[in-house]
Amino acid sequence: MNTRPVVRALALGALLVPAALLATGCSSLVDRVLYKENHFSFDDRAALEKGLEQDVPWVPADATHITGTVSTDATNGAVLLRSDADLDPEMCAETTRLSAPVYALDGAPDVFERDTVYACGEWAVVATDDGWLGWTPNHPDEAAVSPAG
């Protein structure tokens, strides 16, 4: 009995199944398990609040086109969104930038070109051309300036 076709089929399956899983959207599962990252996209703030386990209280009510990445253990994250609203002054205060995001998001500005950020609790936030980019954790000295404490 010739076992070569069976061995070839098994080897081909071992290569094609992972590739098919990645191509069909299972890459988010790989990101969660291997890299401990959760990539997300929400249409608006209501969907963000309903669908994201991490609290992002600084996000303006009119936010749309919300994208980002958070760690599965909720220790760090980055959020990019569109908004015409100002940040809530009872939550955020401008201060010297001492931190930077762990995650790079497509379309996000280079925060290293910024001297200041808004400290919004444990989040640091900078203005973009059409909204805001925020990341956590911020530096403890940034967090100390935030009215949200």
**pLDDT over 90 (residue 135):** yes
pLDDT at 60: 98
Residues 43-70 have pLDDT tens digits of 999 999 999 988 899 999 999 999 999 9
Residues 2-37 have pLDDT tens digits of 656 655 544 544 444 444 444 444 455 555 555 578
Residues 70-119 have pLDDT tens digits of 998 878 999 999 999 999 999 999 999 999 999 999 999 999 999 999 99
Token representation of residue 30: 């790989």
86 in the same domain as 68: yes
68 in the same domain as 141: yes
pLDDT at 1: 60
Report in angstroms the alpha-carbon separations of 63 from 19, 44, 130: 35, 6, 10
123 in the same domain as 67: yes
53 in the same domain as 12: no
Number of C-beta neighbours around residue 142 at 10 A: 24
Q: What is the mean pLDDT of residues 111-128?
A: 97
Domain that holds residue 88: 36-145
Of the candidates 126, 71, 70, which has an alpha carbon nearest to the alpha carbon of residue 100?
A: 126
63 in the same domain as 27: no
- The pTM assigned to this predicted structure is 0.78
Q: What is the mean pLDDT of residues 116-124?
A: 97
Q: Taking all residues of the chain, what is their mean pLDDT, rounded to a whole number?
A: 85
Which residues are within 8 A (CB) of 31 and not within 5 positions of it... i.e. 6 or more apart?
37, 38, 39
42 in the same domain as 3: no
55 in the same domain as 122: yes
62 in the same domain as 15: no
The residue assigned the tokens 């967090």 is: 143
56 in the same domain as 69: yes
Of the candidates 103, 136, 102, 90, which has an alpha carbon nearest to the alpha carbon of residue 117?
A: 136
Query: Please, are residues 131 and 91 in contact by the beta-carbon 8 Å criterion?
Result: no
41 in the same domain as 14: no
Sign of CA dihedral 100, 83, 69, 119: positive
DSSP-assigned states of every residue in 102-138 = SS--TT---GGG-SEEEEETTEEEEE-SSEEEEEES-
116 in the same domain as 102: yes
Per-residue confidence at 123, pLDDT binned at 50, 70, 90?
A: very high
Which residues are within 8 A (CB) of 14 and not within 5 positions of it... i.e. 6 or more apart?
none
Per the structure, how many domains does the chain have? 2
